[in-house]
Amino acid sequence: MPHDTLYDWFARSAAAYPDRTALEVSGRRLTYAALAGYAERIADGLLRHAGGDRPRRVALLAGRTPEAYAGYLAVQRLGAAVVPLGVSFPAARNAAVAAAAGVDVVLTDGGGEAPGHTALPIGRWDAGAAGDAVTGAPGGRREPVRPGPDDVAYILFTSGSTGTPKGVPIRHRNVCAYLRHVVPRYGARPGDRLSQTFDLTFDPSVFDMFAAWGTGATLVVPTRDEVLTPVRFVTERALTHWNSVPSVITLAGRLRALKPGSMPTLRRSMFCGEPLTLRQARAWQRAAPGGTVENGYGPTELTVTCATHRLPADPSGWPEPANGTVPIGRPHPGAEILLREGELCVRGPQRFAGYLDPADNAGRFLAPDGSPYDPAAPLTDAHWYRTGDRVEEGADGALVHLGRLDQQVQVHGYRVELGEVEAALRDHPGVADAVVLAPASDTGVRLAAAFSPTGETAVDPARLRASLGDRLPAYMVPETLTALPALPLNANGKIDRSAVAAALGIPGPGGR
């Protein structure tokens, strides 16, 4: 069976290992056969809802439940594109994402508010139960509609500097090129147990799902409380493979849980979404001495990760970049890189074909010869994607991440444009201007905002925070909101971020 579509990676294992456990979540275990049957029934319900026509794009509003994963597979089985929504995201943001993606229907497990579109509840279905998981009507099997390599497998939305999230369509050829490299590299096999710490709105979840389901392994999904106690989760569930943001290591260290040898079952550990420091890597490696530690790098536009660096088993052989971070490594097979004034630019089979809104392509690409991209010209595979990341080559040829060229930061692994948060603040009637800083702490980056009021009446920070919460996901709402009579300006008349940082008591520049 070929691996030409995202669903192929699951279907092959379902055929080979029907009785093995595919998913453990919410206290339930589903075998590959049960999960395939569940997805089949949801897919049939979607078809009947659409009058027999295949939906083009399906939003998925579901949390850490069996329904979420079966629904994801059902959309893929139909050859449609899945658009994950956040159950904890504001309804207005989910509505904007669903509208921008042009979804036909919203599949929901009831864990969030449906965003103004036709909502189709996913009913609970257990192996052996009769009836359809969506409508309750008897289900009938249908042959899957095979999408082509240029059809969209999923669409994720990233933070936009103008205040509007940007849609990133990932095609089957992008994600299959990615999986063909990373699945063998990760070394999972039937009987192994892989973590799923990421929400479906965050693209490392794609790696977790299909690194497990592409090999006959088990995907083990923690509750939100279990994510906060990672060592206990690993040991109690006997995980063999781990993937998370590096700040989880710092959290485990604060709990004094990273004792030497405390995670003996782990063979592979991957970290992505944030810079991985050598200090964090050493702490994790001591707790899981029988496994390897790997750093993954890549924006959503380059399909999850496009470069990786695996640390040697012996820490004495680890590199020591001056900034104290683990290198991001070398590009995946087929990926070409161009360093333009220190900025990493990439093209190859994992590079997406352009944003959902073509207007967002402006400034994000270079022409094949490395010159600026003309947005009026057709975008081809030969164009370079500008990551906005500064890198340099280490002595061994591995790339080292040096920071950003813009105001984009990573908060708990999520990409945040400070400009989007600032735009949301300025939209409040009591705010004249605002600046958001991103100081680093031992648990990762946090957001701190300063604003100037429109008049003499003070703005209630609690109401301002509530207003932001109605528009932005929780991870984008600043931890602190400080009113200043006026924001300090530099000699060029721009907001002086260093002066704002000093006013807020934040050491260093305080932002990017």
| Two structure tokens written together for 379 | 């975008």
According to the model, what pLDDT value does residue 144 have? Answer: 58
Residue 490: how many CB atoms within 10 A of its CB?
A: 11
pLDDT tens for each residue of 285-294:
999 999 999 9
d(CA 456, CA 462) in angstroms, rounded, equals 18
Range with the largest mean pLDDT of 376-385, 443-452, 463-472, 487-496: 376-385
The 10s digit of each residue's pLDDT in 299-329 is 999 999 999 999 999 999 999 898 889 999 9
Residue 112 has a pLDDT of 74
Q: In the prediction, which pLDDT does 146 show? A: 82
**Contact between residue 36 and residue 14 where contact means Cβ atoms under 8 Å apart:** yes
Does residue 509 carry a pLDDT above 60? no
* Amino acid present at 483: A
37's CB contacts (< 8 A; 6+ apart) are 125, 127
Lowest mean pLDDT among 46-50, 88-92, 253-257, 394-398: 394-398
Kindly state the helix (H) or strand (E) to which residue 339 belongs, with its residue range: strand 336-340
Q: What is the pLDDT of residue 510?
A: 43
Is the confidence at residue 95, as pLDDT, over 50? yes
pLDDT of residue 133: 46
Query: Per-residue pLDDT tens for 157-208?
Result: 998 766 788 999 999 999 999 999 999 999 999 999 999 999 999 999 999 9
Q: What is the pLDDT of residues 201-237, one digit of tens each?
A: 999 999 999 999 999 999 999 998 898 899 999 999 9
CA dist 343 and 366 (Å) reads: 12
Cα separation, 410 vs 435, in Å, equals 17
- Whole-number average pLDDT of the chain: 89
What average pLDDT does this structure show over 27-49?
94
- pLDDT tens digits, one per residue of 237-275: 999 999 999 989 988 998 899 999 999 999 999 999 988
- Return the structure tokens found at 123: 């009913």
Domains and CATH numbers, the chain: 1-171 (3.40.50.980), 330-404 (2.30.38.10), 416-504 (3.30.300.30)
Burial of 144 (0-12, 13-18, 19+ CB in 10 A): middle
Q: Tell me: the pLDDT tens digits for 329-359?
A: 999 999 999 999 999 999 999 999 999 999 9
